[in-house]
Amino acid sequence: MLAILLSSFWAVGQDMIPDEVRVDYSVIKKDLNTVIVELSEVSNVNITFNPNDLPKNKVISLSTKNKPLGVILNAILKGSDATYKIVGNQLVIVPDEFVTAKEIITISGYLRDSLSGEPLIYANIYNHEKAEGTNTNEYGFYSFSINKGVQRVYYSYLGYSKQILELKLKRDTTINVDLSPDAVLNEVLILDRQVDAQETQLYSADVLPVDKIWSISSLAGESDVLGLAHMMSGVSSGADGLGGLNVRGGSFDQNLILYDGVPVYNTSHALGMFSIFNPNTIKSAKLIKGSFPARYGGRLSSVFDVRTKDGSTKKLKGDVSLGAIAFRGSLEGPLGKNGSSFIVSYRRTHLDLWLLDGFTSLVNSDNSTQRQSDYSFYDLNGKLNFQLGKRNKLNISYYQGSDDLSNEIVRTLTALPLMPVETNQINSDWGNNILSVRLNSELSQKLYHNLTLYRSSFDLNNFDLQQFDMTLGTGMTRTYDSNLFQSSVRDLGLKSDFDFVPNTKNYFKFGFGAVNHTFSPGLITLDQNSDLIQGDISKDTLMDILNVQDLVGTEVYVYGEDEIRFSDKVKANVGLRYNLVKTDSNYDHSIEPRLSLLVEGNSSFFRVGLSRMSQFLHLLSNGGFGLPSDVWIPSTDRIKPEKSWVFNAGFGFELSENFDFEIEGYYKKLDRVISFSEGVLSPIDANFNWQDDLPIGTGTAYGLEFNIHKAYGKSNIFANYTWSRSTRQFEDINFGDEYLFRFDRTHQFKFTLIQKLNKNAEFTSNLQVASGSPVSIPFEVRTIFDGEGNPVPVPVFEGRNLQNFPLYHRLDIGFNFYNDYGWAKQKFSVGLYNAYAWKNPYYIELGINENTPQNFQTYQFTILPLALPYISYSLSF
């Protein structure tokens, strides 16, 4: 590595850099010396020069408005052997040492956090002279082609002080840069918008403001990266705002959720109230909703790419936190002095540890009802990073998390004849387990490689039982309905990805991968008419009966994409992905073109994209409101991979100095989507031809999103409105008529405010207003006759999802208080979730009116009918 000559460097501050002063200047046919003197007067910047260094016969004519002084000087000095450099707050014209033909060289390296050594991903690198830039990749590495000579390069990242390096470059050079975090959370941030503006995304993507994750609290005061995603336009959650991630009319399984590049199948804890992503470990998160680059594939609707920290390479650090629901802690630090590190974090609920007995006695106050409940979840994250020489890094990452829920209510129905005993029981456990080994290698200044070997698994068992016991003269009569959902997925995968940056115009990404999937789906539904169970019904008895079959499938893919910079205003990404899938005895392949185009104006942009996507696996969802009753299945000979075409177009502009406005439309066509059939759930069991029962259909989604964003100053505002429709159509459902998808929300309005009150306090609020979700409500009950001619009362559904729940709305407010003790930083949060206690319905059920049992009544269930206060405390050291 050649030593770099740094002639000067500036940090972000209040002073204007001398050559960035903007001037209006016009001149006709004057000599160069005179022009330079006049420019100095007009700009109030001292420009020093030796007239002998300048060509004597050069005559200048130009007219310019509001142009930076440096740009004007470069223009008038072009063709001479002179250039300028910055000395203090003045400019000095000097002979150009690098006047021989401009050659292109490459600078590359890593951007890191100066305090922790953590690589900064998607950070900005910008060359002032050529007005060109690039970003660090997912591992903090960048490669940038630049002219030889004296070049000014800006390194910036949101939440960090910008670094401006004036470099004298003679050959390919490695430049690693450390950026300092912007003071502490409790300082007011005033950022220079002009230079610090985030590069406009070529893709229809939201780079989630993870620096705000600690400001915005979700349920029970827990910060959650999925909560950030729910703030974005085009994203809806499950019912009652809990869990789920439905992006632009897609279902949950159509999201490619990546945990450090490894696909994850389930992201929910606590029925969808929190995600599996421990906020202590999050480094970045990006949600791509359209214009998908070819490196991503395997899902139809979105990519949620979450990257976690590698651990501090500088010193030992940690934090602990206690909230209303869970406690968590993390510890990170260096392993030796060569840049290796570790990080480990743990999070767990604590309610079950000390509260359960008290809770049971508190609520069992009615002799006719007995309740027993238990719930716990935990996450364990661990990472080891080893620096292997200067060019290689080995990373071993592990995640394990699980939920355990049980709830039993036994109630004597005293209002009914014979006082039957009703038992409702739920017994669920689910969790993910991920292990990955990753090797990152700088193969050259221009070529970067990532090789990942991973194992990702998800297991779910969900048992529920409704049972009525009635004692008659002849003995006890029992009626019951019980279900067992079982879903297990095991992936073993290999990925090889290359980044190749040959010049400033092209950024190539290409690679290949293979995944072996093993699915073990199971579903069994039994009632009193089954003779399979003798005696009591339990999860274990159903598990003994269920005959689960392993279904294996293999996916292989190869892709290539090029991000082409036609000019500083026009960029495109052109890519192609090829997927080959092996099912039982067939092959299915998919050729997926990916195109996106970005055209930028001075303070506006236009973007358009088209993507072909395919998806090997499917999720059969029963209700899908964040409850763990979904079953993952692979594609088979009959159930082919799903496919989609996604088109999006949008434009944006600066509304004012600090406000950005964006509007985007999208259209999505889905093929081969599947669903449970109408009626009783078909068993998924090796003894049944369950695949034949699954309807296969199509889906359509389209919409318009409006976004306003203010990210500078004391107030951060995220506001958006989405108008959208999402439908499904199956020949065997709803008599073949198209119907609204259950996560359709015609109107959605979201408003999030983070307001700095003073140096140590901030106020946050989050308002969500949305059309009620579609629902099927029976307004009538009629009689049909069974084979023996006996009348059976049944609900009348005139169609599927013809009605809507009432308007959904919820307001969350909170206050965060910060203190810095020097040796540690403290944060104390207090707030209200669902501040005005609005009862948003979760689902509707038809039942019997307990007071008049001959009457039918609809009942509405709400998960969160109260305003939920929260308190949490965290300490970072």
Work out how close the CB of 849 gets to another protein at its nearest, in angstroms, rounded to a whole number: 8
Q: What is the DSSP letter of 2?
A: P
Of the pair 371, 455, the CB lying nearest another protein is at 371
Is residue 754 within 8 A of residue 725, CB to CB? The reply is no
Burial of 669: CB neighbours in 10 Å, binned 0-12, 13-18, 19+: middle
Q: Which are the contacts of 284, defined by CB distance < 8 A and separation ≥ 6?
A: 121, 122, 207, 208, 210, 306, 307
CB of 640 to another protein, least distance (A): 15
The least distance separating another protein from the CB of residue 424, rounded to whole angstroms, comes to 9
Q: Smallest distance, Å, CB 775 to another protein?
A: 9
- The least CB distance from residue 529 to another protein, in Å, is 9
| Sign (positive or negative) of CA dihedral 242, 245, 250, 253 | negative
Nearer to another protein, 9 or 779 (CB): 779
What are the residues whose beta carbons fall under 8 Å from the beta carbon of 851, sequence distance 6 or more? 415
Among left, alpha and beta (phi > 0; psi -120 to 50; other), residue 636 is beta
- Does residue 152 contact residue 133 with C-beta atoms inside 8 Å? no
In angstroms, rounded to a whole number, what is the distance separating the alpha carbons of residues 113 and 119?
6
Give whichever of 176 and 857 is closer to another protein, judged by the CB atom.
Answer: 857
Of the pair 55, 778, the CB lying nearest another protein is at 778
H/E element, 646: strand 642-654
| Closer to another protein by Cβ: residue 657 or 731 | 731
Closest CB to another protein among 362 and 443?
A: 362
Round to whole Å and give the CA distance between 831 and 790: 57
**Tokens read off for 445:** 């200044």
| Helix residue spans in 749-853 (DSSP H) | none
CA distance 746 to 234: 11
Q: Are 370 and 410 in contact (CB under 8 A)?
A: yes
Residue 417 Cβ vs another protein, minimum distance, rounded to whole Å: 18
Tell me whether strands 604-615 and 617-621 are parallel, antiparallel or unpaired. Answer: unpaired
Q: What b/e sequence results for 527-540 when a residue is b if at least 16 CB atoms lie within 10 Å of its CB, and e otherwise? A: eeeeeebeeebbbe
- What element of type H or E holds 745? none
Q: Which is nearer to another protein, 15 or 845 (CB)?
A: 845
Kindly report the CA angle at 77 between 74 and 78, in degrees rounded to 5? Answer: 80
Structure tokens at 667: 């259209």
Q: Output the smallest distance, CB 862 to another protein, in A.
A: 7
CB of 468 to another protein, least distance (A): 9
Q: How far is the CB of 466 from another protein (least distance, A)?
A: 5
**Cβ closer to another protein: 785 or 821?**
785
CB of 300 within 8 A of CB of 848? no
Element (H, E) at 38: helix 32-43
Minimum gap (Å) between residue 634 Cβ and another protein: 19
Residue 786: CB minimum distance to another protein, A? 5
Angle value at C-alpha 458, between 456 and 464, nearest 5 degrees = 180
* Strand order across the 90-95 sheet: 47-48, 90-95, 82-87
Nearest distance from C-beta of residue 470 to another protein, angstroms: 14
Q: Calculate the CA dihedral of residues 842, 833, 424, 417 and round it to 10 degrees.
A: -80
For the chain, how big is the Rg over CA atoms in Å?
31
Nearer to another protein, 247 or 620 (CB): 620
Q: Compare residues 47 and 542 and give the one whose CB is closer to another protein.
A: 542
Nearer Cβ to another protein (471/849) = 849
Please report how close the Cβ of residue 282 comes to another protein at its closest, in angstroms.
23
Distance CA 399, CA 135 (A): 28
Which residue's CB is nearer to another protein, number 133 or number 221?
221
CB of 863 to another protein, least distance (A): 6
- Nearest distance from residue 761's CB to another protein, in Å? 23
Q: Shortest distance, CB of residue 531 to another protein, whole angstroms?
A: 11
Between residues 189 and 409, which has the closer beta carbon with respect to another protein?
A: 409
Among all chains, which residue has been given the structure tokens 């979904």?
630
Which of residues 655 and 794 has its CB atom nearest to another protein in the complex?
A: 794
Of 610, 547, 503, residue with least CA distance to 105: 503
Q: How far is the CB of 368 from another protein (least distance, A)?
A: 14
In the complex, least distance from residue 277 CB atom to another protein, rounded to whole angstroms: 20
In the complex with another protein, the residue whose CB is nearer, 231 or 465, is: 465
- The CB density around residue 190, as the number of other CB atoms within 10 Å, is 12
Provide the 3-class DSSP secondary structure of residue 195: helix
Q: Where are the alpha helices (DSSP H) in 219-336?
A: 225-230
Q: Alpha carbon of 810 to those of 219, 707, 751, 832: distances in Å?
A: 12, 19, 11, 11
Rounded distance, CA 728 to CA 872, Å? 42
> 321, exposed or middle or buried, with CB in 10 Å at 0-12, 13-18, 19+?
buried
Q: Which is nearer to another protein, 466 or 765 (CB)?
A: 466
Say how far apart CA 161 and CA 178 lie, in whole Å: 10
3-state secondary structure of 204: strand
Which segments of 324-446 are extended strands (E)?
326-335, 340-349, 369-388, 392-412, 421-442
